[in-house]
Amino acid sequence: MDTFNLMTIFIAIADRGSFTGAADTLGTSVANVSRAMAQLETHLKAKLVNRTTRKLSLTEAGMRYLAKCEAVIDLVRDAEQEAGSAQNHPSGRIKVHAMTSIGHHFVIRAAVQYKKSFPDVTFNIMLANRIPDLVSEGFDISVVIASELSDSGLISQKLGDTYSVVCASPEYVQLHGAVQTPADLKHHDCLRIVSDVSELHNWRFHGPNGEEAVTIRNAALDINTADGLIAAINLGMGVGVLPIYTANPGLRNGSLVRLLPEYKLQELSVFAVYPSRQYLDAKIRTWVELLKKMIPEILSDQDGHCRTL
């Protein structure tokens, strides 16, 4: 039994004061209205209307039930309007995952900019160097870096391309000398970042001679965040590979030196990943649109002036 539909018919009967008027309002037959009314009274085991050939009136039980029905219909309409507005007006909380360095350099900056346009949206941001299960972990969107994405059934938008560079501190270079070729790294203290998107032991360089691979077996340090790796490099602990957007501030202020400037490593893409395109919530749609605008602009500046050796 469709109780909601029966309630709607009952409200129409009360509003129009007749079965015929209710049928006209609802675009159905008088017979359908009459059957619905009988079914509702049988279900409730209560008489809701008194009906004669000339007049229809509500019983006391009918008046009490009408008030409750109208309240229920109003709540349903409010719920439908609120759900529908999610497609048009960004509001509520958005749960975002991002890989750590992307989060620090792109996502938090984007969230600040987004809030200026959509103050009714709040953020829950998790930074972790992994690709989460968006559905089971309840994330609305993930911003990840990868060479390519697996065919997971999720929706993805490519936001741009980036790469990594070899860096050291000026003090380290002064003590140990510059690196002339990728193979020279075997004679230096190498610092590695532990990540799902890069090989730990094999550093693959792309440069004038095509691809060159160097195996780093005994690293002076393994660490799981780019910011931690920067700290170790700045302190002269050794040579490390950093995403260019992470390295750029230090390269520009001179606290880092780029080694092997004609080479790039870990040429990867930045993606926004989310569960569905159908009925996409306005806050997710506008958030993706902002990322698609901001991240390419930031990445386009990644080859800016810096100190090299």
Predicted local confidence at residue 171, as pLDDT: 95
118 and 167, same domain (yes or no): no
136 and 172, same domain (yes or no): no
77 and 108, same domain (yes or no): no
106 and 34, same domain (yes or no): no
Predicted local confidence at residue 87, as pLDDT: 53
Predicted local confidence at residue 85, as pLDDT: 47
47 and 78, same domain (yes or no): yes
The answer to the question of residue 261 being in a domain is yes
9 and 68, same domain (yes or no): yes
**3-state class of 103 per DSSP?**
helix
Question: What pTM value is reported for the model?
Answer: 0.65
DSSP codes of every residue in 208-265: TTEEEEEE--S-SEEES-HHHHHHHHHTT--EEEEEHHHHHHHHHHTSSEEESTT-EE
220 and 195, same domain (yes or no): yes
Cα–Cα distance for residue pair 58/67, rounded to 1 Å: 12
Cα–Cα distance for residue pair 307/303, rounded to 1 Å: 11
239 and 170, same domain (yes or no): yes
Are 163 and 268 within 8 A, CB to CB?
A: yes
Please state which of the ranges 56-60, 84-88, 118-122, 209-213 shows the lowest mean pLDDT: 84-88
pLDDT digits over 253-301, tens only?
A: 999 999 999 999 988 899 999 887 665 788 888 999 999 998 888 777 6
pLDDT digits over 223-255, tens only?
A: 988 889 999 999 999 999 998 988 988 999 999
195 and 258, same domain (yes or no): yes
Number of folded domains that form the chain: 3
Domain at 101, CATH number: 3.40.190.10
The answer to the question of residue 304 being in a domain is no
Helix residue spans in 254-303 (DSSP H): 282-299
Predicted local confidence at residue 264, as pLDDT: 92
141 and 173, same domain (yes or no): no
Q: Tell whether the model's pLDDT for residue 151 goes beyond 80.
A: no
Q: Tell whether the model's pLDDT for residue 112 goes beyond 90.
A: yes
Cα–Cα distance for residue pair 124/94, rounded to 1 Å: 6
Cα–Cα distance for residue pair 81/56, rounded to 1 Å: 33
Q: Tell whether the model's pLDDT for residue 56 goes beyond 50.
A: yes
Structural domain ending residue among the three candidates 85, 118, 151: 85
The answer to the question of residue 306 being in a domain is no
pLDDT digits over 2-33, tens only?
A: 888 888 888 888 888 889 888 888 888 989 98
Helix residue spans in the chain (DSSP H): 3-16, 19-26, 30-44, 60-85, 100-102, 108-117, 134-137, 170-176, 226-234, 244-253, 282-299
Structural domain ending residue among the three candidates 85, 105, 138: 85
The answer to the question of residue 307 being in a domain is no
Structural domain ending residue among the three candidates 20, 53, 85: 85
Predicted local confidence at residue 68, as pLDDT: 87
**3-state class of 199 per DSSP?**
coil
Q: Nearest-CA neighbor of 264 among 145, 167, 149, 193?
A: 167
Domain at 56, CATH number: 1.10.10.10
The answer to the question of residue 61 being in a domain is yes
pLDDT digits over 29-49, tens only?
A: 989 988 988 998 888 888 888
Predicted local confidence at residue 254, as pLDDT: 92
Q: How confident is the model at residue 53 (pLDDT cuts 50, 70, 90)?
A: low
pLDDT digits over 156-185, tens only?
A: 889 989 999 999 999 999 999 888 899 999
Length of the chain, please? Answer: 309
The answer to the question of residue 276 being in a domain is yes
Mean per-residue pLDDT over the chain, rounded: 86
120 and 168, same domain (yes or no): no
pLDDT digits over 57-103, tens only?
A: 888 888 888 888 888 887 777 666 655 544 567 888 999 999 888 89
Predicted local confidence at residue 88, as pLDDT: 62
The answer to the question of residue 291 being in a domain is yes
In this structure, what are the phi and psi dihedrals at residue 223, rounded to the nearest 5 degrees?
Answer: -145, 155
The answer to the question of residue 29 being in a domain is yes
Domain at 214, CATH number: 3.40.190.290
41 and 102, same domain (yes or no): no
Domain that holds residue 24: 3-85
